[in-house]
Copies of this chain bind each other. A is one copy, B any other.
Amino acid sequence: MPRINKDRVLSDLRTLRSFGAYKTGVHRPTLSEPDVAAREWFANRLREAGLDAEIDGVANILGRSRTNGKKALSGSHLESQNYSGWLDGALGCVYALEAARAIAEDPATADLGVDVVVFCDEEGHFGSFLGSRSFVGLLDEKEIDDAADRATGMTMREGLAKAGWSGRPRFLIDPSRYAAFFEAHIEQGDTLESGGGAIGVVTAIVAIWQYRITVTGEQNHAGTTSMKRRRDAGREMIRLLAAIDARLAQAAGERSVWTTGRVTLEPGEKSIIPGKAEALFQFRDADPAVLERMEAALREEIARAGREGRCEVALERLSASKPASMDEGLQAALDAAAEKSAPGRHIRMPSGAGHDAQWLAPKLPTAMMFVPSINGISHHWSENTSDDDIVLGAQVFADAIVNALRR
């Protein structure tokens, strides 16, 4: 079986950290100068590993193996969130690269092929999963035309032109070429750490259902308007959100999460009764039945508030993705690889975050593997994973790919 090269894995990750270094993390937004440089560097690294690597017209990178037979496809993303962690995305790219190298270097597995893919903009600076959606044929040119960086305003077309990648064709998946897609990622939570686990074998990527709740009352003077007369949109929103939270605690599954990310009262002055209130609300679960149950509970609470309160209450569903199930055979391949290197320290778990793998899952048998996040921290420059866990994860990942290709 292949032996991964520990120093090479850590060195590649540290080199990637130098592109847009920020404190102990990175600031490497999609198509920023450090991101373009990181992509060029990574494509060269793929070529040094013997892969035919190119960057396409949406900044995806594909490194093709020259072996015969069904190959594994593996990868993740290279850009970071703004001022964020060094491993989010980069780890999965380097694991894929290292698996391709280690498998090619071992005579016993040199017949097996690993294509390495790097998807553009998983972090959503320009849109929603533009790279992986492009790769599976679900992105039209119009969406690229319209895309602009949310923070800087730079259009995606400008960014691609600056990088010299304008007008290139975009890679499209050839499902007949692959036996499986494998993505590794940091967990971004503390399930592994708190359970003493070193490897997470992902069962499914949860669906995210997002909503805007709007309460419309009557703006008025906070001193002269009696409690009986007022139609306080803020008060109604607070009661409604508290009721929704209590209700979802009943309707939710064991692993469900729900979050009110934003509440806005208008006009937001201390002596004015809010005439309007808006909230962004979401929940996540891997089980369609649980998702439906949570939405029904939400809709009932909205209807009740509209019926019993003194304001108009409206619910708008902003998005509702489908849970992406991971392939059972590939989960077994990950279990077996993990049991070999970290006996008893691997856990099956859903992914609460979205990943490029959810777009590959309808096209190929797909697997995801997690390594622990220290203190469960993610989307912050202090995000980290111990070197030991990084190295262990790289070995398990390469072994699992071999297991999958050999079965």
Contact = CB atoms under 8 A, between A and B. Distances in A.
Interface of A: 187-191, 194, 206, 208, 210, 219-227, 229-230, 232, 234-235, 238-239, 241-242, 245, 252, 255-265, 268-274, 280, 282, 284, 351-354, 376-380
A191 B229 CA distance: 10
B263 A187 contact: no
A245 B239 contact: yes
Contacts of A268: 261-262
B245 A227 contact: no
Query: How many identical chains are in the complex?
Result: 2
11 contacts: A190-B226, A220-B378, A222-B257, A222-B261, A225-B257, A239-B245, A259-B271, A260-B265, A261-B269, A262-B269, A272-B379
Contact of A232 (B210, B259, B378): B259
Given A238-B242, A242-B239, A352 B225 contact: yes
Given A229-B376, A259-B270, 12 more contacts: A190-B229, A221-B379, A224-B353, A224-B376, A226-B255, A227-B258, A235-B245, A238-B242, A238-B245, A238-B263, A259-B271, A261-B274
Nearest to A208: B223
Given A260-B265, A262-B268, A189 B226 contact: yes
Contacts of A226: 189-191, 255, 257, 352
Contact of A273 (B206, B252, B259): B259
Contact of A210 (B208, B270, B274): B270
Contacts of A262: 265, 268-270
Contact of A224 (B188, B210, B252): B188
A261 B265 contact: yes
Nearest to A352: B223
A190 B269 CA distance: 21
A263 B261 contact: no
A265 B258 CA distance: 15
B234 A189 contact: no
